[in-house]
Amino acid sequence: MRSLLIGGARSGKSSLAARWALERSAEVCVLVTGTATDEEMAARIAVHRDARPQHWRVREEPVRLGHALSQEASRKQLVLVDCLTLWISNCLWPIAALPGTDHALWSGERALFLEALRTCSDIIVVSNEVGSGIVPESPVARLFRDEQGRLNQAVAALCDEVFLVSAGLALRLKG
């Protein structure tokens, strides 16, 4: 079963995904994409880490998520990806910081991830919905929003079930 949980920031996606992973499998590998770039982010990561069952295997993959997923998909386990939004940011940041660069890093990583997702039989993916607000002011923010929306559509198309999460509640959109 391939599942996508999508919603706004602090909507309860990660908590719900962890609860569902615990219910679905005894063997779980969590692919985390966040990096502790400052104290506030380090504190957020610590909260997520402390909430996970100790026996889960955690693999940090801020950029090479597709490669990691292709390795983990071959094992008899559930894979929990948390989250696509930070991963996109990690991939796009070098592009945004260097005007005139192409999208080779992001395009390649995106393609690898989607191919690996096709082969994964038991996965829960967490992603943010960022397109419901105002149009971002800067080109970098618009690029991020657009790429997030495109990726969410591609992932949703490959998943068996998709849920919109708000206030910790899941509304089934697909499956």
Tens digit of pLDDT for each residue in 92-106? 876 555 555 556 788
Q: Are 80 and 124 in contact (CB under 8 A)?
A: yes
Element (H, E) at 95: helix 84-97
136 has pLDDT over 90 = no
Q: Kindly report the average pLDDT of the chain as a whole number.
A: 91
pLDDT at 38: 84
| Measured distance CA(175)–CA(166) in Å, rounded | 18
Which residues are paired to 127 by β-bridges? 6
* Distance separating alpha carbons of residues 109 and 77, to the nearest angstrom: 23
- Percentage of the chain beyond pLDDT 90 is 69
- CA–CA gap between residue 93 and residue 79 (Å, rounded): 26
| Lowest mean per-residue pLDDT among 40-49, 83-92, 121-130 | 40-49
Mean local confidence (pLDDT), 134-138: 87
The pLDDT tens digits for 16-73 are 999 999 999 999 999 999 888 789 888 888 888 888 899 999 999 999 999 999 999 9
Domain-wise residue ranges, the chain:
24-164
**pLDDT at res. 108:** 92
Q: Which residues are catalytic?
A: 48
**CATH T-level topology, domain 24-164:** Rossmann fold (3.40.50)
pLDDT score of 29: 97
Q: Say what the pLDDT of residue 42 is.
A: 84
Q: Are strands 169-174 and 161-166 parallel, antiparallel or unpaired?
A: antiparallel
Q: Which residues contact 104 (CB under 8 A, 6 or more apart)?
A: none
| Report field, pTM of the whole predicted structure over 0.75 | yes
Q: Which of 71-75, 98-102, 121-125, 163-167 has the lowest mean pLDDT?
A: 98-102
Nearest to 7 by CA among 125, 169, 126, 129: 129
**What span, in angstroms and rounded, lies between the C-alpha atoms of 164 and 149?**
14
